[in-house]
Each structure stands twice: as C-alpha cells, then as structure tokens.
Amino acid sequence: MENLLLGWPMVCMDQSEIEKADAELCKRFAAHVRRLRRASDKSQEQLAEDAGVHRTYISSLERSGQRNPTISVATRIASALGVSLSDLLD
C-alpha cells in the first residue's frame, strides 16, 4: 500500500526540494484565489473584508504568490469565495 499524506505520496526530499515544492504550492494557491475572486466579481478589498484579512494581504498574495497563509487564513479565504479549501489547493 502506498504511503500518502493528503493524497500525495510521502517521499524524502532535501531542503531545496521542499522549498521549491512549497513555493509552487503558494503560487498555485494564489492563482486559484485570483481566478475565483475575479469569477465571483469581488474586488480584493471585498474579498479581504469577507475573509477577515487586510486588503494588502490579498493583493500581495495574488501578485507574488509569496504569501504562505496559515490554514486558518486559507480556510477563511476559501469560505469567502464559496469554495472548499481543497479547491484552492488543487
């Protein structure tokens, strides 16, 4: 049986591989947030207010993909967009 964590195979990675995977996940998350926000016709300010974060947080997240939101913040953003957290991570 394959060893999975959240549907992903668990493998040994060195630090640079972990950082690269983390950066890629953050970029995908940011792209999904932007796409879904635009599809729902929400401004960054409106999404930020609905999610309980500052407008500049959403702006920075979407622009750079460098933000690494906590699970709590990611869940609030997903809820404000009317989707599940997994929708933002796929």
Rounded to 5 degrees, φ, ψ at 3 are -85, 110
Mean pLDDT, consecutive 10-residue segments, the chain of 90 residues?
A: 58 76 86 95 97 94 82 96 91
Prediction pTM value: 0.79
Query: What is the C-alpha separation between 86 and 29, in angstroms, rounded?
Result: 10
7: left (phi over 0), alpha (psi -120 to 50) or beta: left
